[in-house]
Chains A and B, each alone.
Chain A
Amino acid sequence: DAEITQSPRHKITETGRQVTLACHQTWNHNNMFWYRQDLGHGLRLIHYSYGVQDTNKGEVSDGYSVSRSNTEDLPLTLESAASSQTSVYFCASSSTGTSGGPNTGELFFGEGSRLTVL
């Protein structure tokens, strides 16, 4: 079965260190997204990609970066981790739909990665 996997599931790091969260999907979806989940804020969009070599900033992109070198993977990098980046991170993907037609796909989520920055 197709799926979307994240690793690591849990990570503890120190302030100032670089951290990369991996996301791999086998749905062959063009669209991939990174969200962070914090109490009272729901899910907030960090970065997203509509295809290979395409990346875009979301509403809370400061301190984060992504790259999309193939369809399956969208790693999220925290260049210099800060305590404010302690959160649960979700990767998600969705289909584009037929060319020129509407996108009817919902979001498919990974299981989340809990990051603690001390």
Chain B
Amino acid sequence: AQTVTQSQPEMSVQEAETVTLSCTYDTSESDYYLFWYKQPPSRQMILVIRQEAYKQQNATENRFSVNFQKAAKSFSLKISDSQLGDAAMYFCASRGVYGQNFVFGPGTRLSVLP
């Protein structure tokens, strides 16, 4: 079974500053993918970043990067130079490489203060 935990229900950050959202997971899969999804007030679910667990290098997408600690089963998201448009709910998710089902964490609501 897979579980995903996000221990920060809410976070806030000043515009242009950096913030890190935490995620821990547990899985019985030998290989798996990890994801961060963003859900702005529009309700649309948007993929932010993806990490293949067999890759040691941390994934990056522009201002978004992850700190993937496989032994600790930790997958945090760092947002640099925060913008007002980054304000959203952020969900961490996992999926086995050969499995089809995704497991989501409860989400972290991020506020960006001007």
Contacts and interface: CB of A to CB of B under 8 A. Distances in A.
Interface stretch (A12-20, A42-50, A66-74, A78-86): A42-50
A104 B106 CA distance: 23
Nearest to A56: B101
A115 to B, nearest CB: 13
A42 B107 contact: yes
Interface residues on A, range: 20 to 34
Given A106-B35, A106-B47, A106-B50, A42 B100 contact: no
Main secondary structure of the interface of A (DSSP, over half): strand
Interface residues of B, number: 26
A56 to B, nearest CB: 9
B44 A107 contact: no
Interface string B36-65: 010000111101001000000000000000
B100 A48 contact: yes
B18 to A, nearest CB: 25
A58 B97 CA distance: 19
Contacts of A103: 95, 97-100
A88 interface: yes
Given A42-B105, A48-B100, A106-B50, 14 more contacts: A33-B101, A33-B102, A35-B104, A42-B106, A43-B104, A44-B104, A45-B102, A48-B101, A102-B31, A103-B95, A106-B35, A107-B45, A107-B93, A109-B44
Interface of B: 4, 6, 9, 31, 33, 35, 37, 42-45, 47, 50, 91, 93, 95, 97-102, 104-107
Interface of A: 31, 33, 35, 40-45, 48, 50, 58, 88, 90, 92, 94, 96, 102-104, 106-107, 109, 111-112
6 contacts: A31-B100, A42-B105, A58-B101, A107-B93, A109-B44, A109-B45
